[in-house]
A and B are shown apart, each in its own frame.
Chain A
Amino acid sequence: MFVRIANLLALVLMFSSGFLSLFDVSARGETLGEYWDTAEEESKYYRIVEIPMPAGMAIEAGCFEVMTDKQLAIGTRRGDIFLVKGAFDKNPRPTYKRFAHGLDEIMGMAYRDNAFVITQQTEVTRITDENADGRADHFRTLSDTWGFRNYHEFAFGSKPDADGNVWVALCLSKSYHSDVPFRGWCLKVTPDGKTLPVCSGIRSPCGIGPNEHGVMFYAESQGPWNGSCSLKVLEQGGFMGHPVSFNWYDLAKGMGDKPVVPETRSRLMIERRRVKELVPYAVVFPYIRMGRSISGFMVDRTGGKFGPFENQLFVTDFSLSVVMRATTEKVNGVWQGACYPFREGLATGLLACQFTPRGDLIVGGTNRGWPVRGPREFAIQRLDWTGIVPFEIKTINARSDGFRLSFTKPVDPVVASDPATYSLSTFTHVYQQGYGSPEVDQTTPRVVQATVSEDRLRVDIKVEGLVQGHVHEFDLEPMREPGGGKLVHDNAYYTLNEIPSD
């Protein structure tokens, strides 16, 4: 399908920049940051339940799949697929059975029509057990239409979309280059094994799947051309921001010409106007404050079994061992949204999450290779809602003159209608070739009015000084419930790519 790539420089460079590209060599020693210090309070609402593993087994989860109401499947970095019974039980004492082994960093998995479709570093594979002995025996390569010459060229695959396509986000070579075809691209693999290009410009993905509106997104990591981790929409024909992957447009049918190369040391807002394919980040996760390498995510479709956040995205983080929430909306044709702290103190670096049929959230991963707060080499844990509704900012939506904030429980009307309850600040990043970015162009908008809805679950705030393209950081420390209760988390971050017209 494409020309032979002779890469004689297949030397493995021990660049440490990340699975997920946590940081580059120069940044080593940067801290894992301060905790939110909310774990104790969070534990009242979401309990961490251990999913024990058999002694002596190393299970480095890279992805999960619910097979039946009783059975969980785990794909691992070490290339195993485990079938697990009992992981959904209230008091889990699961049994593990190895279904397949010998695969290469399984970072995406779905079970459809008696077959697993997995994404591993080398390829998308359809795996079946044709003699029905409970162990995989057929491994059919659906697509390996991408170059793979460096260990850091990770591949993350979605569960199939409505048409059965697996979307694969391909990490750059050594996380800085695009040495072989389609590094830095998203490809779509159809059920019959056709491979179609979607977009270029990816840097270091670590999670891919639909947002709450069913549109395919991926988790991008901080690094060159990325001021911070973010969720981005995988737009057909789009450019995700890192131009090193432009050299594969010749191989990509239907993608048109290379986009204009963006200027370095600019701003995303400015370059969006120059580079028409450039897709701005939809939800920025401010560095360290909201994760350091966001990873797998999944939409809560539990119908309320997981608490008040139905239809929101739950996003894990590898470095900080935390789970966060995000919501997205399309404004003026552009995706944007907010992220919110949710739960910290998980045991290892999180790579993936999965809602269970009972409506709990399984998370897991490993802490190998990069600095991670969670102390354990690998772990699988579950977040169970205790049934008590936390007092939280539920969603933030943009309005033409400010924002609408929804809460999980009624607010104290006096406090909530006081504009002083809401502190807003904004910033953006330098859009640049260099690694990451400081937060720049800070402003402090003023909340001039806060109108509380009748049911006291919503507050519309009128803001003077909204800045298009900036992340708007909310601090609602003074907010109270009528009984005086405080928010579990008083911060949230909205990425305002577009300001809605009325």
Chain B
Amino acid sequence: MGVELRSSSLITERPRVFRNVLIVATTLTGMCWQTLLTAQPDAQTPDTLTVKLKRELATALAKDAREKGNPVQGAILFSQKKFNCVGCHAHRATNLLGPDLTRVGTEVPDTHLVESILLPSKVIKKGYETVSILDVDGRVFKGRIVDESPTQYLLRDTSPEQRLVVVPRDSVEELKMDAKSSMPEGLADQLESRQEFLDLLKYLMDIAVSGTSGTEVAGSDDKSGLDDRVQGIALLQQFHCTNCHATDAPALAAKPAPDLSSVASRGDPSFITKFILDPHGTKPGTNMPHLLGRLAPADRQKVAVAITHYLASLSTEEFQRDALEVDATKRGQQLFHSVGCVACHSPLRKDGSEALPAGSVSLGNPGEKYSLVGLTGFLENPHAVRPAGRMPNLKLDHWEARDIASYLLSFSVGDNLGRDDSDFEFDSSLVAAGRMHFRGLGCSQCHDLEGAQRIISATPLISLRSAEGCLSESVAELPEYVLSAGQRLAMQAAIKQSGDQLTNSQQISVTLQTLRCYACHERDGIGGVSGERDPYFLTTNENLGPQGRIPPPLTGVGAKLKSKWMRQVLVSGRAIRPYVETRMPQYGADHVSHLVDLFQQVDDLPQVVMHEFDDPKEIRKIGTELVGSGGLNCIACHTFQQKPALTMPGVDLTEMAERLHKEWFFRYMRSPQAISPNTVMPSFWPGGKAIRKEILEGNTVQQIGAVWEYLRDGRQARVPRGLQREPMELLASDGHAAMLRRSYQGIGKRGIGVGYPGGVNLAFDAEQMRLGMIWKGKFADPAGVWRSQGHGTVRPLGGSLIRFEAGPELDSSQSPWIVDDGRPPKHRFTGYFLDDMDRPTFTYELGDVGVEDFYSGAKSENPELSQLKRQLVFQTERPRNDLAFRLRTKGTIQKESDHQFRLENALLIEVDPDHLARIVTDSAGSHLYIPLDLKSGKSQLTLKYTW
């Protein structure tokens, strides 16, 4: 296609970055170690920045930094992935390799900061030495001792992953202190210039004292975990206990059980029989109890088969296995391990076995159970068949669901795979018996089918002796659940207190537990991504650090997010972090919408000092300035109007005010890392003091207020200064011309630009029927007409531009040449047609004379010059000798030979031998005048433009 579009701003969606999970696991942290390794200078190269800086006096550098350093730029550098400063020096963190730099304090001289970057091993802060431990097995551990007890050391190791390693004291053979700091040498070589070093240094100076004054605490210190009762309630819901044991407590109400009306088309009926016979053996961890215990073993098979036929009678479609595509299973594997499935389910090994069975919701053996269509449909909309909401909707589109389904079905177990159909043959005579058993055994207590009534004959929940019955070790004829001792205790606690009201806070906990929100989100010290699943939480942009991949904590979330926004996230699936590969799933309004009010009630807004302005318009202007590159440069890291910043795609500025409570914003801005320890967002008011002292007199509250007023404009916020845009280029491609009808400078709005392969370009004026300009090299930058409202012009790229003066080229020789740029009265543009290289032949009419105007790039004899060959064809029924063709540029025109004329001392125009051209001077200046003598039929005029 004749055009190549080159602009990353055209990219609609960031390409999903899929990586091998294991590789990611080893590269997520510690990037600076690896980049430094490759960045070691060899002897031949010129002096590195570190070497140059070391030649200077530390005092001089510190003084320069104080005076000339730009802390805003420094803050951005500090947060960049390539330096990974935050990886070791996170605010408030105590067990990382490096100290919290906001607690350096005033007693440390500036020169020390200089040296710790340039000569990291000169002085190592006490407690941050690197040790090497040789253990009795001969293994070596290297790292910083972050904690020790009489029995063991806790080491933060210096591997790229920076793992926490426990080394038992009794296994230590030798422990020695390293003289070298774990702070990498040559860090400054990653900087672009001395100025950047000063910027970084100034930022470190500014934040050095901030941590000592901050007293804000994120979350509560209670790490004790969920109480038994909350866990028990979640279990009571999950196991549908109250479907038999009535209760008045709404919090304990059972969640609806799976809808079985089409289960026999989704799942293999043979599997269904097997599952009914032995639920716990077939799918470990299932909520489904074993109900056949009361039957004589000999009868069980018969009953299970009958129930299967009953269920099959309800399905309109037959179970059918489909062939799997290899590519789909591969894509599915990547999706499964990145979109969030493995937050609850176990990651799978190559053979399909579960790598982390403990704490995972077992998948059972999907290949045995599901058809591809069935599982795809289930993954696309899990709540249609599992209305309890626990299996969430991961916002998979149909094709993604199909890929994951293909992957899950690809593990060959037994002889099921490759078989087309189930060996099940439907027998309608078994349906009635199956229906009877389904109801008689109590299946219909949980599964709604055909309107069967639930029978509430069991002991009400509140009167249960909770150590007995279903919860006892031996259930005899009762439904058999497989429960751990802990689960029993929890359920017993919940039953005992089932008459007591739950507090709002407890209600939140119950929901977070029931829906397994805690698998991804931490709230008040409970939950969060576990270390072993951490490698599966991926990002498309590592510059954002852990915050770019780990779901945000929910501690205080009600004080952070406005309720409307929260509802959109929870119920309608709105999301603002496209870089987090794990998706925030949807659980259905019925199961989560109550959280919105609960969070708002439980989480108190922070008490902060805010500022109200008299003139919001004026303050918005200042806010715009602060957000822009001349202020705090928020725009360097934050997405604006869904266009990611070049540095990193931080959360969209134009959605902030819609999401956030103002109070929270004020608190967050003062000390981002105090609230989000994972964030790479630096503070621009370290210790409450403004880095930018010249704006609003350095008043912190007013500055934050000004930014807030700016953000309040939301989608309509003015574009701040410094928004980086990728340049646009429209170029001819190999063998095809590029074209764009639009406004070109010096031409009215009816311009038609053409970029020819080989690097000549022109713009034709389809209002005046003239060649408007020609240039060499690259074709055009369309940004002026493709950005904003399109009020600009297409800008010729390349160079050697020659512009022709206004006025139609072909006109009556009797009348004076029209020299304004208006529309000539008798000319009529009739279009163009393209040859197989997409080169246009323009066509127009002057009265009854038809004109074709074709251009092609030609090779000039002089390789320095370009040539454009122009072939005009005139068609007329009657002979015409009253027309002339004219060309004019602003500059000079000279005759070089009978057929060669030089314009502006640059452009050579060669007229074909059949025409006699001459220079004519009129009141508007000189122009090239070519009289035409058109015979009846077609006549030609050929012109060569060489320049």
Q: Which of A5, A8, A56, A148 contacts B5 (CB 8 A)?
A: A56
Q: Which residues in B have their C-beta under 8 angstroms from that of A93?
A: 399
Contacts of A371 in B (CB 8 A): 715-716
Interface-facing stretch out of B76-84, B549-557, B738-746: B738-746
Instruction: Count CB-based A-B contacts (< 8 Å).
Output: 165
Q: Are A29 and B830 in contact (CB under 8 A)?
A: no
Q: Which A residue's beta carbon lies closest to that of B790?
A: A151
Question: Are A98 and B790 in contact, with the CB atoms below 8 A?
Answer: no
By the criterion of a CB under 8 Å from any partner CB, how many residues of chain A are at the interface?
73
Q: Interface SS of chain A: helix, strand, loop or mixed?
A: loop
* Alpha-carbon distance A50/B641, docked complex (angstroms): 19
B10 in contact with A57 (CB, 8 Å)? yes
- Do the beta carbons of B791 and A376 come within 8 Å of each other? no
Contact B791 A12, beta carbon cutoff 8 Å: yes
- Write out, one digit per residue, whether chain A residues 421-438 have a CB within 8 A of any chain B CB (1) or not (0): 000000000000000000
Cα distance A486–B329 in the bound complex, in angstroms:
45
Collect the chain A residues with CB atoms within 8 Å of residue B820's CB.
6, 8
B789 near A369 with CB under 8 A, answer yes
**Nearest chain B CB to A309's CB is how many angstroms away?**
23
A375 within 8 A of B: yes
Q: Contacts A91-B398, A102-B752: A56 and B832 contacting too (C-beta < 8 A)?
A: no
**A287 CB, min distance to chain B CBs, angstroms:** 16
Given contacts A55-B13, A56-B12, A139-B833, contact A122 B741 (CB under 8 A): yes
Decide: A43 and B399 in contact? CB cutoff 8 A: no
Is A153 a contact of B749 with CB atoms below 8 Å? yes
Choose one: A104, A139, A148, A376; the contact of B748 (CB below 8 Å): A148
CA distance A3 to B830 in the complex (A): 19
A149, B836: Cα distance in complex, Å: 32
Is A101 an interface residue, CB under 8 A from the partner? yes
Residue A140, interface by CB 8 Å? yes
B-facing residues in A1-59 (Cβ within 8 Å) = 2-8, 10, 12-14, 16, 18-19, 29, 31-32, 37, 39-40, 43, 50, 53, 55-58
- When distances are taken between beta carbons in the complex, the residues of chain B under 8 Å from A32 are 714-716
Q: Is B823's CB under 8 angstroms from A5's CB?
A: yes
B485 at the interface (CB under 8 A from A): no
Q: Contact check, A29 vs B713: say whether CB atoms are below 8 A apart.
A: yes
CA distance A124 to B580 in the complex (A): 46
Complex CA distance for A153 and B790, rounded to whole angstroms? 11
Which residue of B is nearest A54, CB measured?
A: B12
Q: Which of B114-157 contact A (CB under 8 A)?
A: none
B715 touches A372 (CB 8 A): yes
CB distance from B761 to the nearest CB of A (A): 13
B13 contacts across to A, CB distance below 8 A: 55
CA distance A137 to B785 in the complex (A): 24
What are the residues of chain A within 8 A of B742 when measuring CB–CB?
79, 104
A122 contacts which of B7, B567, B766, B832 (Cβ < 8 Å)? B766
**Docked pose: A131 CA to B786 CA in angstroms:** 30
**Minimum C-beta distance from A60 to chain B (A):** 8
Q: Could you tell me which residues of chain B, from 813 to 833, have a CB within 8 Å of some CB in chain A?
A: 818, 820-825, 829-833
A7-B822 CB under 8 A given contacts A40-B589, A101-B3: yes
- Is B750 an interface residue when CB atoms closer than 8 A count as contact? yes
Which B residue sits closest to A93, measured CB to CB?
A: B399
Query: Could you tell me the distance in whole angstroms from the C-beta of A373 to the nearest C-beta in chain B?
Result: 6
Interface residue? B397 (CB, 8 A): yes
Check if A50 sits within 8 Å of B789, measured CB to CB: no
CA distance A103 to B750 in the complex (A): 11
A5 surroundings in chain B (CB, below 8 A): 822-823
Residue in contact with B741 in the complex, picked from A40, A56, A104, A368, CB distance below 8 Å: A104
For B786, give its contact among A2, A43, A78 (CB under 8 Å): A78
Q: Is the CB of B5 within 8 A of A151?
A: no
Contact between chains at B830 and A43 (CB < 8 Å): no
| Cross-chain contact A102 with B572 (CB below 8 angstroms) | no
Given A50-B397, A77-B790, A120-B741, do A141 and B15 touch, yes or no (CB 8 Å)? Answer: no
Assess whether A402 is interfacial by the CB under 8 Å rule.
no
Once the chains are docked, how many angstroms separate the CA of A77 from the CA of B617? Answer: 33
CB pair A147 B715 closer than 8 Å: no
With contact pairs A7-B822, A141-B830, A373-B715 given, residues A150 and B749 touching in the complex (Cβ less than 8 Å): yes
Shortest distance in angstroms between B564's beta carbon and chain A's nearest beta carbon? 8
Please tell me if the beta carbons of A91 and B715 are within 8 angstroms of each other in the complex. Answer: no
Cβ of A378 within 8 Å of any chain B Cβ, yes or no, is: yes
Closest approach, in angstroms, between the C-beta of A202 and any C-beta of chain B? Answer: 19
Q: How far is the CA of A3 from the CA of B826 in the complex (A)?
A: 9
Query: Is B821 a contact partner of A139 (Cβ separation < 8 A)?
Result: no
Chain A residues with Cβ under 8 A from B739's Cβ?
Answer: 101-102
The smallest C-beta distance from B314 to any residue of chain A, in angstroms, reads 21
Per-residue A-contact encoding for B919-947, CB less than 8 Å = 1, 0 else: 00000000000000000000000000000
**Which B-chain residue is minimally distant from A372 (CB atoms)?**
B715
Asked if B11 CB lies within 8 Å of chain A CBs, one says yes
Smallest Cβ-Cβ distance to A18: which chain B residue: B789
When the two chains form their complex, are residues B3 and A6 in contact, meaning their CB atoms are under 8 A apart? no
Contact A79 B740 (CB under 8 A): yes
How far, in whole Å, are A155 and B835 apart by their CA atoms in the complex? 28
Name the B residues within 8 Å of A104 (CB-CB): 741-742
Q: Which residue of A lies closest to B402 (CB)?
A: A91
A369 lies within 8 A of B748 (CB) = no
Contact with A55, one of B12, B399, B643, B788 (Cβ below 8 angstroms): B12
Q: What residues of B have a CB within 8 angstroms of the CB of A153 in the complex? A: 749
B interface with A by C-beta (< 8 Å): 1-3, 5, 7, 9-13, 15, 397-399, 564, 567, 571-572, 589, 617, 641-643, 652, 654-655, 713-716, 738-743, 748-750, 752, 766-767, 782, 785-793, 818, 820-825, 829-836
Given contacts A91-B399, A123-B829, A147-B823, list 7 more A-B pairs with CB under 8 A.
A6-B820, A14-B791, A56-B5, A58-B7, A102-B741, A139-B834, A375-B642
